[in-house]
Copies of this chain bind each other. A is one copy, B any other.
Amino acid sequence: MHILLTNDDGVFAPGLRAIRKELSRLGKVTVVAPMQEQSGVGHSITILDPLIVKQVDEEDGSTLGYAIEGSPADCVKLAVLELMDRPPDLIVSGINSGANAGINVLYSGTVAAAIEGAFFKITSIALSLELAEHFDYPRAARHAARIIERILANKPAPGSLFNVNMPAHSRGEPKGVRVVPMAVGRHGETFERRKDPRGRTYYWLTYAPPYHLEGPATDVSSLAEGFITVTPLHFDLTRHDRIGEVSTWDWNGPK
């Protein structure tokens, strides 16, 4: 099996290194990841600039992979179309430092890389570890590898897409695995308004803790309870249930 590994924290991120070690037990791993941290880039792609590619070596002279001056989605596109001999059998994105649950999924470069993989009809898995003072990536990588093995054992259709979140080390041993939908409520995030030394107003986006913990189980609530969450995703944003009704609207009607 040939695995493409990418992330949005950059090619040198410890989360990528930890999962790479585990994945190398499952097959050949090719790393193609952004040169710099790309948090919050969502599904951005580079259209107006050229993509610079650098080969990255380990201290011992062996090849770590490729670093791209671009987004996680750029990495997947370039890896599949140009850098790899043939398309990979599996794409793994992560392990991200911080959960990608709820509507954060839409902001996530980690998940966007997996979605880009699904565009190519390659099974793709996004991995994220809940924010904490201390990230135990080796532990998260062991859990993630086990989840990936279970996914592969169930032979998902090519292009299947999964979003996996792992609870922080501080929550203790995970309570188990829950297959849950993403939460769709808005965060409680706000902006902090400040003045710079020249009197200009600027804003910082604040961090919002987990929210919407009541109601049916979601990725956000289950993660807060200490479960590993698995969410099968798709990328068809059409509201198919609305097409029929909206079609009947009088589009050429009077003003």
Contacts and interface: CB of A to CB of B under 8 A. Distances in A.
B46 A43 contact: no
Interface stretch (A16-24, A57-65, A112-120): A112-120
Contacts of A238: 181-182, 231-234
Contacts of A176: 251-252
A179 B251 CA distance: 10
A66 to B, nearest CB: 10
B103 A235 contact: yes
A181 B243 CA distance: 7
A184 B119 CA distance: 8
Which of A105, A146, A205 has the most C-beta atoms of chain B within 10 angstroms of its own C-beta? A205
A155 to B, nearest CB: 11
Contact of A184 (B40, B48, B235): B235
Interface in A170-188: 176-177, 179-182, 184, 186
Nearest to A161: B239
B146 A255 contact: yes
Interface string A238-255: 111011001101111101
Copies in the complex: 2
A24 to B, nearest CB: 16
Contacts of A73: 42, 107
B153 A253 contact: yes
Given A239-B234, A249-B150, A43 B45 contact: no
A200 to B, nearest CB: 7
A233 B105 CA distance: 16
A75 to B, nearest CB: 12
A194 interface: yes
Contacts of A236: 181-182, 184
